[in-house]
A and B are shown apart, each in its own frame.
Chain A
Amino acid sequence: MAAVQDGQMELDAEKETKPEILSDGTSNLSGNTASGTLSSSPLTAAPAGGAPKMEDQQTLIAVLQFLKRNKLTDSVEILRREAGLGEDQEDSQATDGSGGGKGDVDGGDANSLLSRVSITSAAAPQSMPVKRADDQPDVSVVLSAYSQQGDPSLYQVYYSGLKNFIESVLDCHRAELSQLFYPLFVHMYLELVYNNHENEAKAFFEKFSGDQECYYQDDLRVLCGLTKKEHLKGNEVLLDFRTSRFVLRISRDSYQLLKRHLQERHNNQIWNIIQEHLYIDIFDGMPRSKSQIDSMSGSLAGEGRRELNKAKVFHGLLKEPEIEVPLDDEDDEAENEEGKPKKKKTKKDSLGSKSKKQDPNAPQQNRIPLPELKDSDKLDKIMYMKESTKRIRLGPENLPSICFYTLLNAYQGLTAVDFTDDSSLLAGGFADSTVRVWSVTPKKLRKVKSAADLNMIDKESDDVLERIMDEKTASESKILYGHSGPVYGVSFSPDRNYLLSSSEDGTVRLWSLLTFTCLVGYKGHNYPVWDTQFSPFGYYFVSGGHDRVARLWATDHYQPLRIFAGHLADVTCTCTRFHPNSNYVATGSTDRTIRLWDVLNGNCVRIFTGHKGPIHSLAFSPNGKFLASGSTDGRVLLWDIGHGLMIGELKGHTDTIYSLKFSRDGEILASGSMDNTVRLWNSMKAFDEVETDDFTATTGHIHLPDNSQELLLGTYHSKSTPVTHLHFTRRNLLLAAGAYNSQ
């Protein structure tokens, strides 16, 4: 049963990966059918099959043009052959010049884009980094949509006319149609600005900005400073607002109502905007209530499209094939180990309510090639088993003890913290570009001896691993120098041999915890890298940065294996987390959305909207079914990954939530925040109370109970220490870390 991996698996890993990626990339480029839904006619709820084909072709042509410009003739040939495009087609498109959005990729990335990267979501071509000086033509293309203009003085009339209409309709429709206000407002304002009607734009803004929902304040602030056409070009936030269609979810009845109204009034201006810049996702059934809408809205680009969340996600856990074997050996050796593996199994079953055999939701064991377990890893697994048998079963009556690791004298500014899984090491990233590693057990940190000294060691001795360590270097902490900017993310590898750090200088660095030196600097992000994390199985890691993409790396590749692009606007992937089965990666962003990416093919399989502020923390539940996210608005949202639904809202924090962690059994969710508190939530109850009947599953219209207070199990204050990181030890002791803030 246990799928023991071959010895050469690891060796093959690289070979296996590459062809996969290649094929993925091509398949995506050639037939981006599943997700390429940029329908030209927004009136149809489900896009026709032909439209995306067309769109894809345009994209391809854009890429071809780019390649040509960069004299990459071979690539052009290959691409043309594979895509089956004729030269004439391309030319006609080129002269046409209105090819929707053209992906523009950095020269350095062009190859990687073609060879390894999969461009996945529909918006991908448009949302590639648009920063070069030479993308000015493209920008103007994008903006030119605004050039069609009506009488600027009538804009206010149009808008207030629509406002009056919406306010006069039946209550059940009003809430839904009110969603139109914000995108219409933004687009009309931008049109005015684009057409140099500065005064009208200002007046328009002043008159109607007060009507918008409060959670759009941040965007309105950006908008309001923007009054010149020249400014539009540089402002990436608005550029992305333009290029991506704002998604609205409206019931068919409401939509018919709106359509009839606009046609009666011949209100073409608004109709044009709706057609061109909005994507209206029409569903059949009851209109949604105001609270339902509010809970899902707030993102920069509206709600996630329903069909985008339909993809199958293998959220089950991988079987742990290797574990039973060594543990059984252990049993033979030592009787007192008897029964432990069974215990472990039952525990897991009760958690995920999975069958003992194969979780139907679990991905194929080798869906993602995983590194083979080394002997030391097996030993560690056994240790983990032993520890987990001593684990305290948590619950509402049995709350965890909290240990607080306070970093004192951190005047340089603590920016990131991570614990090893066995809670023996603590790493801190600091604003002064250093990474510090502490041992939080009595065991000191030691370096490996120098090469000359290593030669003198008897390599056959049993304690060779001990002998290679240099006692003279033993100390409680070590400082790692190498970055040239604040370190925003740190992550230990599961085997505790490596440490990753991501920094403002655009690099991710891999450090050895044996020599305490830097091994690799991964350059790929062109902008600050906000976060990085190792896969739960090691080898892979993901990083997310200011350049709006998350990248998947393998430690032995200096270039990324995947680029996850799709986050919008001036988006920064603020936090990146691996799914426990390592097949998915979740990223949160300042565009107030969370996306779940498939590591295998780079597709975006889930978009979660509902946060009203940038997302700063994410956590998968141990059984892989749920996701928790925390943002600057102080709310924690819970998501059901399988159904793609929001299932809970935890209110209580008063400041940005920088850390989230589920207890080892998933019963308790701990959240740490800038407001100097740790809060514990009854996540079991939150998950249990979800009614996932067919209707909500299909429509995604969940009605959230407001039960934050019931779910809140405790609030624990530190004196003046923001909680930067939380960690549950293997025995379910909660560790918190933060820097004491004397001000």
Chain B
Amino acid sequence: MTEREERRFAEVPRESIKLMAESTGVELSEEVAALLAEDVCYRLREATQNSSQFMRHAKRRKLSVEDFNRALRWSNTETVCGYGAQDALPFRPLKEGELFFVEDREINLVELALATNIPKGCAETMVRVHVSYLDGKGNLEPQGTVPTAVQSLSEDLLKYYQQITRAILGEDPHLMKVALLDLQSNSKIAALLPYFVYVISGVKSVSHDLDQLNRLLHMVKSLVQNPYLYLGSYVRSLVSSVMYCILEPLAASINPLNDHWTLRDYAALLLSHIFWTHGDLVSGLYHQILLSLQKVLSDPVRPLCSHYGAVVGLHALGWKAVERVLYPHLPAYWANLQAVLDDYSVSNAQVKADGHKVYGAILVAVERLLKMKALSLTLAAGGGSADLPGTTTGAVGFRENSPGLSPPPEPLSEPPLGIASHLQAGGAGCQWEEWTPVSLPAMYCELYSFFGDSLAVRFSTDPPLGGAPSSRSCQPLEGRKEPASGAPNLENTRKMPQLTASMNISPRQDGSPRMEPQPPSLAATVSGRSLARSSSSSSSVSRSRSSSSRPGRSTSQSRDIFPKARFPLPQAGPPAFSFIIGGRQMGRRCQGRRFQTSFTPTPPLNTLPPRAYAHKLPVIGRVSKPVRRWTCSHYSLHLPL
């Protein structure tokens, strides 16, 4: 008890008093020191008690030197100066002798005065207001958490959610299938949609795991296909996840053994699926996506797998996207790709293999572009609107003619391209503003200059056959993988089941998605524009080149062989110019091409000089590496059938 009471207060021992007295030159007797010590203790206590009052009113918990000094001042005592520092001063013992002291660093005033790192004044005192508790309830939801809808989930739904995600992301493929099927058809999971979208947005965290990515993409597909779900704004999140899989240089693609190509193909397929089934929801996204694809494509720093993704993505968005983005980019991109493909060093082998993938993808894309363009023109002509030149009418005509394949929405709802023009970054000389529909022959010429006979589409310049029905117009279209073993010359063998299959199974890919905007169709100026364009390097060179390389071919000969497609060319008068589209002439064994496409060039093009990079083309585009090209293209594109 006694000791406890004693310890309540710090005591100043009389020795300290004596020492302090000595330091000022006063000698104290023992008694005086004892009395003084006691009094000092008491006064200190009193001052401390008084100072607590100041602390309390300053609404602090910590007694400060200031408070103590105030208490001293108000009791008419001298204040203690020099201890106002915010941080505690260390109280240290001296090793030799029982001496304790407050460590007091010396401060170099000169240094302080000339210091360059002048401390900035502390920030302005300010008032900030926030609603802490609304109606007595806290807004507890921190940012970035699952939407509140999930919190109101019933027990059963939560269980369902857990089971489904576990099944889909788990190991058992059978379970996964069941789960996906249920996800596709369950009509009661609307409340869980945000949760699933949240899970899917986790693609970014599993970019090393192809399997998981695949599963997540399947989940997207199931959600998209579920007829009971209204995706609403969540579709954006889904699209961004899919785009991630298409475009990003995934961590999994570092290892060449990983087949991330298939994943990209599948994601692209999914993208087109979303655009075709939920076009109304994603209309605003179309141009953003085109833009991002274009950005990737025009960025040479990006790895080839990203470029591949961009190409398949464009391909998935339809031939118009290819025409508008990929096609104008091709000349610029070609040089880079060429450099990759021409490098035969061992170290480059992997990159080169990737390059061939891209090459194959581009090939597939442009082939479809050519086919669809030709088809649209044919349909336009065959649909009784021959007097209407231009591609736009062709596109519309195509849609009108194939209502069963993809019921097109009212074409008027398509946003005009002008809206998107501001989105366009000035990449590789492809300005939306400048974009004009290139005539099919010009396009073909140019593409041919790149790909040579790898192009499985052939055009001839024969005049339209009188008896050619519009239904036959699909015949010129031909999948490049189609075995050409049959007699290619025979017209009836050209009625290939694959062809029709391709039309039937993947009709959406053949046209543009619903939301594809119409090009600024300026029917009156098309001819003039294209003529003006002929002075630009790419088209003019290709045309001149093609004309110069095959001067001897007669149009009639090719017309006999491939009398398939014909269309009126706007600038050449009604039947003046037509191509023969031919199938791939190489067999599986790849002996090389057997047929060459010939056409009559337009007279003015003859005078143009040959194109600079045309000389390189035989290296990749022609006979030199047919085998490789074939094998590449064989699995390069997982066709979205």
Which of these binds chain B: A28-36, A97-105, A713-721? A713-721
Which of these binds chain B: A108-116, A307-315, A407-415, A450-458? A407-415
A-B contact pairs, 30 of them (CB 8 A): A221-B49, A222-B49, A224-B5, A225-B41, A226-B42, A231-B42, A401-B133, A403-B132, A404-B129, A406-B128, A408-B127, A409-B125, A411-B125, A414-B59, A415-B57, A415-B58, A428-B125, A438-B126, A438-B127, A440-B127, A488-B58, A504-B70, A528-B54, A528-B70, A546-B53, A614-B56, A656-B56, A680-B136, A713-B136, A714-B133
Contact B2 A206 (CB under 8 A): yes
Contact A402 B126 (CB under 8 A): no
Contact B138 A716 (CB under 8 A): yes
Partner of A658, one of B59, B70, B131, B134: B59
A398: chain B residues at CB < 8 Å are 135
A224: chain B residues at CB < 8 Å are 5, 8
Q: How many residues of A contact B (CB 8 A)?
A: 69
Answer yes or no: A590 CB below 8 A from chain B CBs. yes
Within 8 A of B (CB), among A686-743: 713-714, 716, 718, 722, 724, 736-737
Known A-B contacts: A415-B59, A528-B74. Give 16 more (CB < 8 A): A234-B46, A407-B125, A407-B127, A408-B125, A409-B123, A409-B124, A411-B125, A428-B125, A430-B125, A438-B127, A440-B127, A504-B70, A674-B59, A680-B136, A716-B138, A736-B132
Partner of B5, one of A205, A403, A616: A205
Task: Give A538 to B66 CA distance when docked, in angstroms.
Answer: 35
**Nearest CB on B from A725, distance (A):** 10
Task: Give A289 to B291 CA distance when docked, in angstroms.
Answer: 84
Answer yes or no: B122 CB below 8 A from chain A CBs. yes
Output the residue of A221, A426, A431, A528 with the most chain B CB within 10 A: A431
Contact B39 A413 (CB under 8 A): no
Answer yes or no: A378 CB below 8 A from chain B CBs. no
Within 8 A of B (CB), among A530-567: 530, 546
Instruction: Mark contacts of A170-199 with chain B using CB atoms, 8 A cut-off: 1 yes-contact digit, 0 otherwise.
Output: 000000000000000000000000000000
Task: Give A671 to B8 CA distance when docked, in angstroms.
Answer: 34
Task: Give A546 to B131 CA distance when docked, in angstroms.
Answer: 37
From known contacts A426-B127, A658-B59, infer whether A206 and B136 are also in contact, taking CB-CB under 8 Å: no
How many B residues touch the partner, as a band? 35 or more
Task: Give A666 to B120 CA distance when docked, in angstroms.
Answer: 47
Answer yes or no: A163 CB below 8 A from chain B CBs. no
Contact B126 A206 (CB under 8 A): no
From known contacts A210-B1, A404-B129, infer whether A413 and B74 are also in contact, taking CB-CB under 8 Å: no
Partner of B127, one of A405, A415, A570: A405
Task: Give A527 to B2 CA distance when docked, in angstroms.
Answer: 38
Answer yes or no: A233 CB below 8 A from chain B CBs. no
Task: Give A491 to B45 CA distance when docked, in angstroms.
Answer: 34
What are the 10 A-B residue pairs with the smallest beta carbon separation, nearest first? Answer: A399-B136, A402-B133, A409-B123, A404-B132, A225-B45, A401-B134, A438-B127, A409-B125, A402-B132, A405-B129
From known contacts A225-B46, A227-B38, infer whether A574 and B127 are also in contact, taking CB-CB under 8 Å: no
Contact A400 B58 (CB under 8 A): no
Partner of A574, one of B57, B134, B135, B136: B57
Answer yes or no: B83 CB below 8 A from chain A CBs. no
Task: Give A488 to B67 CA distance when docked, in angstroms.
Answer: 13
Answer yes or no: A467 CB below 8 A from chain B CBs. no
A530: chain B residues at CB < 8 Å are 57
Task: Give A209 to B58 CA distance when docked, in angstroms.
Answer: 32
A431: chain B residues at CB < 8 Å are 58, 66
Answer yes or no: A306 CB below 8 A from chain B CBs. no
B49: chain A residues at CB < 8 Å are 221-222
**Nearest CB on A from B69, distance (A):** 11
Answer yes or no: A275 CB below 8 A from chain B CBs. no
Partner of B131, one of A210, A221, A401, A713: A401
Contact B42 A225 (CB under 8 A): yes
**Nearest CB on A from B43, distance (A):** 9
Output the residue of B53, B133, B134 with the most chain A CB within 10 A: B133
Contact B54 A408 (CB under 8 A): no
**Nearest CB on B from A613, distance (A):** 10
Answer yes or no: A267 CB below 8 A from chain B CBs. no
B53: chain A residues at CB < 8 Å are 546, 572, 590
Task: Give A235 to B39 CA distance when docked, in angstroms.
Answer: 13
Task: Give A227 to B129 CA distance when docked, in angstroms.
Answer: 53
Contact A724 B136 (CB under 8 A): no
B60: chain A residues at CB < 8 Å are 413
**Nearest CB on B from A606, distance (A):** 24
Instruction: Mark contacts of A32-76 with chain B using CB atoms, 8 A cut-off: 1 yes-contact digit, 0 otherwise.
Output: 000000000000000000000000000000000000000000000
Answer yes or no: B9 CB below 8 A from chain A CBs. yes
A438 — nearest CB in chain B belongs to which residue? B127
B123: chain A residues at CB < 8 Å are 408-409
Contact A400 B136 (CB under 8 A): yes
Contact A406 B127 (CB under 8 A): yes
**Nearest CB on B from A81, distance (A):** 39
**Nearest CB on B from A611, distance (A):** 14
**Nearest CB on B from A550, distance (A):** 15
B174: chain A residues at CB < 8 Å are none
Contact B134 A221 (CB under 8 A): no
Answer yes or no: A486 CB below 8 A from chain B CBs. yes
Partner of B125, one of A405, A412, A546: A412
**Nearest CB on A from B339, distance (A):** 57
A400: chain B residues at CB < 8 Å are 135-136
Answer yes or no: A228 CB below 8 A from chain B CBs. yes
**Nearest CB on A from B54, distance (A):** 7
From known contacts A222-B49, A401-B134, A405-B129, infer whether A546 and B58 are also in contact, taking CB-CB under 8 Å: no
Answer yes or no: A386 CB below 8 A from chain B CBs. no
Answer yes or no: A436 CB below 8 A from chain B CBs. yes
Contact A409 B126 (CB under 8 A): yes
Contact A228 B133 (CB under 8 A): no
Answer yes or no: A587 CB below 8 A from chain B CBs. no
Task: Give A680 to B136 CA distance when docked, in angstroms.
Answer: 9
Answer yes or no: A212 CB below 8 A from chain B CBs. no
Task: Give A231 to B131 CA distance when docked, in angstroms.
Answer: 53
Instruction: Mark contacts of A560-603 with chain B using CB atoms, 8 A cut-off: 1 yes-contact digit, 0 otherwise.
Output: 00000000001010100000000000000010000000000000
Task: Give A718 to B54 CA distance when docked, in angstroms.
Answer: 25
Within 8 A of A (CB), among B1-47: 1-2, 5, 8-9, 38-39, 41-42, 45-46
Answer yes or no: A269 CB below 8 A from chain B CBs. no
Within 8 A of A (CB), among B281-309: none
Instruction: Mark contacts of A227-251 with chain B using CB atoms, 8 A cut-off: 1 yes-contact digit, 0 otherwise.
Output: 1101100110000000000000000
**Nearest CB on A from B10, distance (A):** 11
Answer yes or no: A477 CB below 8 A from chain B CBs. yes
A504: chain B residues at CB < 8 Å are 54, 70
A477: chain B residues at CB < 8 Å are 126-127
Task: Give A228 to B43 CA distance when docked, in angstroms.
Answer: 12
Answer yes or no: A623 CB below 8 A from chain B CBs. no
Answer yes or no: A632 CB below 8 A from chain B CBs. yes
Task: Give A516 to B38 CA distance when docked, in angstroms.
Answer: 51
**Nearest CB on B from A435, distance (A):** 12
Task: Give A722 to B60 CA distance when docked, in angstroms.
Answer: 9
Task: Give A114 to B548 CA distance when docked, in angstroms.
Answer: 124
Contact B5 A402 (CB under 8 A): no
From known contacts A228-B42, A408-B126, A680-B136, infer whether A403 and B57 are also in contact, taking CB-CB under 8 Å: no
A668 — nearest CB in chain B belongs to which residue? B136
Answer yes or no: B159 CB below 8 A from chain A CBs. no
A440: chain B residues at CB < 8 Å are 127, 129
Answer yes or no: B589 CB below 8 A from chain A CBs. no
A737 — nearest CB in chain B belongs to which residue? B127
B132: chain A residues at CB < 8 Å are 402-404, 716, 718, 736
B129 — nearest CB in chain A belongs to which residue? A405
B50: chain A residues at CB < 8 Å are 570
**Nearest CB on B from A418, distance (A):** 13
B129: chain A residues at CB < 8 Å are 403-406, 440
B74: chain A residues at CB < 8 Å are 527-528, 546
B92: chain A residues at CB < 8 Å are none
